[in-house]
Structure formats: structure tokens, C-alpha cells
Amino acid sequence: MLKSTKVYSVFANKCPHCHEGSFFTSNYAYNLATFHKMNDMCSVCGEDFKKEPGFYYGAMYMSYGLTVGVAVVWAILLNLFNMYAAFVYVITFAPIIIALFPIMYRSARLGYINVFVHYNKEFKRLVSE
């Protein structure tokens, strides 16, 4: 059901054009040696993942938005449990954002390329079956 959505592409590490090839070389975000390594192009449809030099600078804005979202949710949760104090917020937020970094990094890049590349279920395969 989600297969044709951008959400599927972002969370399943799939090519934004065909939703079949992998965007990052590893599906595991917490392997610190490989979580950031991207394929140059989609192995299924040939979509170019490295559009131009500096293309992913725009993903920083996406990452910023995700970080602000986590910050707001964390502030609301601390308030709900009556634990909100500035020092508690800062001390607890830093480890959370560091722990979420690989996921945020990958989501921001995949989200950003999904703004420009749209799913096409009638894509051409590089190698016909």
C-alpha cells in the first residue's frame, strides 16, 4: 500500500524513481562505517543519485526541520511528565540528537531527493528480466 509513496522511499532506503534499488549502500543506519555511503546510481533503473556537486546542501534544511521537530516533541514530552527545566532539556536532548544522527542524515538526504525525483511505476529497467 505504501510502496508508491515517498514515505516508503525514505524509510525503506529505496530509489525515489523506481522504489526498488537501494539509495544507500547499507540498509542498516547504525553501522557507523557505512551509514553515509550512497550508491552513485540506482542499480535497477539507473537514476542518478549524485545529481550535481553540492546537490545535497539542501538536505541540511531538511535535517534542520527534523531536528526542530524532535526538539519540540521532546519539550512536549518533558512538559507532560512535569520534568521540564532548561538544564534537564539540554542535558537530555544532546544524547538524543546524537543517537538519532544516522537516521536524520539518511532521512534528510532521501527526503530531499524525493522532492525532485518522483515515483514512476513504468520505469525502464537497466537490465530486462
Q: Which residues bind Zn ion (CB under 5 A)?
A: 15, 17-18, 21, 42, 44-45, 47
Residue 113 CB, shortest distance to Zn ion, in Å, is: 11
Cβ atoms of 16 and 119 within 8 Å: the answer is yes
- Identity of the residue, 49 or 56, whose beta carbon is nearer to Zn ion in the bound complex: 49
To Zn ion, the closest distance from the beta carbon of 59 in angstroms equals 19
First to last CA, the chain: 24
* Spatial contact of 6 and 16, defined as CB atoms under 8 Å apart: yes
Which residues fall within 8 angstroms of residue 108, CB to CB, at 6 or more apart? 59, 60, 62, 63, 66
- The cell for 78 is 518533558
Min separation Cβ 54 and Zn ion, Å: 22
Nearer to Zn ion, 28 or 48 (CB): 48
Nearer to Zn ion (CB atom), residue 47 or residue 63: 47
